[in-house]
Homo-oligomer: A and B are copies of this chain.
Amino acid sequence: MIGLSGVSRRFGAVEALAGIDLEVGESEFLAVIGRSGCGKSTLLRIIAGLLEPSAGTVVVDGRPVRRPRRDVALVFQRPALLPWRTVLGNVLLPVEILGLPSASSRKHALELLDSAGLGDVHGRLPHELSGGMQQRVALCRALVQRPRVLLMDEPFSALDALTRAELADRLQELHMGLRATTVFVTHSIQEAVLLADRVAVLTPRPGRIRKILDVDIPRPRSFGHNAHLIEVSRCVAELHDLLL
């Protein structure tokens, strides 16, 4: 579904990404981890077609990426909400822009907000929300368009452990339902292991792929009850060492 070959990106003198080769299969869930500033966000923005690589090619669904695609949704690292729209209005933005059926999308949006614990605040404006609430709104906004490819940049970073676990559960369900190809940047190794089929580990400056680890733990996974403790620990430990 997603193929990168030899992708590099420079910002002036700074080399952010170098020689990235990566394949993400249809419906695969790939997590990306790496040190802060190693180029994770840059990688996502390149796949999303928001940024041109300095070298290399990006292919999504068999076609080279030149501009953003309508079937790809991106959750930004910062919520990027429109301050003049209510929570629901923000979630419905993609619906309006992509021209999705409005009645059913509205229902869908409200369901998503509900399952993100925001059912009762859908009429509020973003500045009235806490940081974590804003982040969840941004997540709902990406999910509402039922994308074929879902790119997420640390979508749970501002969330407490519990909310994060709940949403991770929900995301797994969704993933299984949508079968969207997912690239998920996270700084939490646990989260990567919990959610991903494979985990790509980037090296710091410039970001290169150090290793891609397969996570062979049966789904649905969870941390709540200490299921799969050993496999998870093994993966976490390995990833931890890889990050160094």
Contacts and interface: CB of A to CB of B under 8 A. Distances in A.
Interface stretch (A18-26, A94-102, A125-133): A125-133
Contact of A41 (B130, B136, B162): B130
Nearest to A190: B161
A11 interface: yes
Task: Give the interface centre of A36, A40, A160 by most chain B CB atoms within 10 Å.
Answer: A36
A60 interface: no
Contacts of A164: 187
Contacts of A40: 130
Contacts of A27: none
Contacts of A14: 128
A124 to B, nearest CB: 9
Interface residues of A, number: 34
Task: Give the interface centre of A14, A78, A131, A188 by most chain B CB atoms within 10 Å.
Answer: A131
Contact of A133 (B11, B36, B163, B189): B36
A162 B40 CA distance: 15
Interface in A2-48: 11, 14, 33-37, 40-41
Number of copies of chain A assembled together: 2
Nearest to A12: B128
Nearest to A129: B37
A158 B240 contact: no
A160 to B, nearest CB: 4
Given A36-B136, A136-B36, A157-B157, A162 B131 contact: no
Interface string A108-152: 000000000100000000001111110010000000000000000
Nearest to A159: B36
Nearest to A41: B130
A87 B63 CA distance: 40
Given A35-B163, A161-B240, 14 more contacts: A33-B160, A33-B161, A34-B160, A36-B133, A36-B159, A37-B133, A41-B131, A78-B78, A158-B187, A161-B187, A161-B243, A162-B243, A163-B187, A164-B187
